[in-house]
Amino acid sequence: MEVLRDRVVIITGASSGIGAATAHALVAEGCKVVLAARSQDKLESLATKLAPHALAVPTDVTQPDDLKQLVDKALEHFGQVDALLANAGIYLAGDVVDDNLADWTRLINVNVNGVLNSIYAVLPHFKARGGGDIILTSSISGVEDIVWEPIYSASKHAVQGLAHTLRRQLAGIGVRVGAVCPGKVANELWGLTDTQAIEEDVTKHASLRSEDVAEAIIFMLSRPAHVTIRDLVMLPQNQDI
């Protein structure tokens, strides 16, 4: 896909799941990727597989200084940044009466503040160059109110609100903003790491693969400059939501 060739994409939450799958897909299309996550070993392993088209930068998205350093290193190494996939996130289900407030706070800090920190770090560069792409990994839980995961759902509703309002504010400087909103994805976020278990879930049409979401992100990034995919909602065929 020639339109994506040589683009530089920062991916947070890149060490596994949707982030890692998207890194593979982007490099296959001729992109360069800047991989950000807290797990240094996993990041460096992925960067080695994608060499020389990948740079690993251990990053905690809850720390604004880490994000500034991430963008600075991306610019130093590749000379430009064309897109941000704000993908880092954690999951929490359960009844609020039984949950721990500290767990709620941590989830909001990663899923909401982490996205804000990531966007804030890259925006000065996008403004200076007059364009860029921001894609937020949201969820069907940001589109529907999911009763069994109220705090996670609240965090993704915040991400959706940010995507919709930020898109309108940044349209005039050539920055596109969109959200990809998958249903259940058979990956580490859902506690699925066994290849056979993943394939069984996918075969039953009960889950998407991380690679399915990566393909959707490639689609969003590869649209002509005058086209913005504001929301891309995708579900396993059998998910009853």
Question: Which residues participate in catalysis according to the annotation?
Answer: 152
Q: Would you state the structure tokens that stand for residue 178, as one six-digit string?
A: 């969109």
Beta bridge pairs of residue 8: 32
Ramachandran quadrant class, 128 (left: phi over 0; alpha: psi -120 to 50; beta: rest): alpha
In whole angstroms, give the CA distance from residue 102 to residue 46.
Answer: 31
Tell me how far apart the terminal alpha carbons of the chain are, to the nearest angstrom.
Answer: 33
Largest CA distance in the chain: 52
3-state secondary structure of 69: helix
Amino acid type, 114 = G
Residue written as token pair 């998207």: 22
Using alpha carbons, select from 57, 67, 73, 180 the residue that is nearest to residue 114: 67
Distance of alpha carbon 177 from alpha carbon 9, whole angstroms: 14
Tokens for 44, please give them.
């460096």
203 DSSP 8-state letter: H
> C-alpha angle with apex 12: 9 to 18, nearest 5 degrees?
90
φ, ψ at 84 (rounded to 5°): -125, 130
